[in-house]
């Protein structure tokens, strides 16, 4: 699991001056802009998750944020821009949540298991609205939204792929086929996304997601074990 580079970390699109050139009043205005920006994003996330992306209007977002419609358009070009910014923030949180677990425990199968459990128990259980954005509301939207969604899941798949390679190398194992690590990484992302969707939205069994997630992780680990062999 690679560390997030500075360029990948969540950054507000609100431009800042160099700290040395800012006055107390400009710093205060900057904080106010950042707060308003985050307030609008939070309101949009909640409305998109509960009402649906298509049914939510910019006027509803403005009312929920307690700002004018003009203020919403000052920070975001349109509704599409809002969901793209949300996807960036949520993607960063997702990768940080599971990545920190792997980096803390090192390149072992136990660490890989804990990372999978963290996806369900830390990210999904604690962030159902964020899950609704990346797993449901962003699907099948504009080409720009779909492209950003692909970038997010490609990065997550790459993280899983890197973690797998690291674990296998650390244990002096090797995959039986050159494509095994890639296939497993893609499968993990697909299975985890599908399970989250099934039990958070279709059946609303979030109270059982911890045990469901642990079963899914054990299933994945069994598959990994069948595709590796001892190095000679």
State the DSSP string of 111-142. Answer: HHHHHHHHIIIIIIHH-HHHHHIIIIITTT--
Instruction: Match 């490609």 to its residue by tokens.
Output: 154
How much is the pLDDT for 6? 32
Residue 121 CB coordination number (10 Å):
16
How much is the pLDDT for 81? 97
How much is the pLDDT for 3? 52
- Dihedral sign, CA of 126, 153, 4, 41? negative
How much is the pLDDT for 5? 42
pTM: predicted TM-score of the whole model, two decimal places: 0.84
Q: What proportions of the chain, in percent to the nearest 5, are helix, strand and coil?
A: 75, 5, 25
Cα separation, 223 vs 49, whole angstroms: 34
Q: What angle do CA 105, 100, 200 make, to 5 degrees?
A: 110
Q: What angle do CA 96, 39, 58 make, to 5 degrees?
A: 110
Give me the domains of the chain, ranges plus CATH numbers: 24-76 (1.10.10.60), 79-230 (1.10.357.10)
How much is the pLDDT for 4? 54
pLDDT above 70 for 39: yes
| Cβ pair 52, 96 in contact under 8 A | no
Q: What is the pLDDT of residues 1-37, one digit of tens each?
A: 555 543 355 555 565 555 556 788 877 888 888 999 9
Mean pLDDT of the residues in the chain: 90
Q: What is the pLDDT of residues 112-141, one digit of tens each?
A: 999 999 999 999 999 999 999 999 999 989
Cα separation, 49 vs 129, whole angstroms: 5
């Amino acid at each position: 699991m690679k560390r997030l580079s500075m360029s990948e970390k969540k950054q507000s699109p609100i431009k800042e001056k160099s700290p040395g050139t800012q006055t107390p009043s400009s710093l205060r205005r900057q904080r106010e802009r950042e707060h308003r920006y985050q307030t609008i994003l939070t309101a949009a996330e909640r409305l998109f998750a509960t009402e649906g992306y298509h049914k939510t209007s910019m006027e509803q977002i403005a009312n929920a944020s307690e700002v004018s419609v003009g203020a919403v358009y000052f920070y975001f070009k349109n509704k599409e821009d809002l969901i793209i910014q949300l996807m960036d923030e949520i993607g960063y949180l997702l990768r940080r949540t599971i990545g920190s677990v792997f980096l803390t425990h090192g390149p072992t199968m136990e660490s890989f298991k804990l990372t999978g459990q963290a996806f369900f128990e830390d990210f999904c259980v604690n962030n159902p609205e964020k899950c609704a954005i990346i797993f449901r509301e962003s699907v099948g939207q504009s080409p720009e939204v779909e492209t950003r969604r692909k970038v997010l899941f490609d990065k997550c798949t790459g993280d899983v792929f890197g973690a797998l390679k690291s674990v296998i190398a650390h244990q002096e194992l090797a995959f039986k086929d050159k494509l095994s690590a890639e296939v497993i990484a893609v499968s993990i992302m697909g299975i985890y996304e599908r399970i989250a969707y099934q039990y958070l939205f279709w059946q609303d069994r979030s109270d059982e997601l911890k045990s469901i997630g642990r079963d899914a992780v054990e299933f994945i680990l069994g598959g990994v074990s069948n595709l590796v062999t001892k190095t000679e």
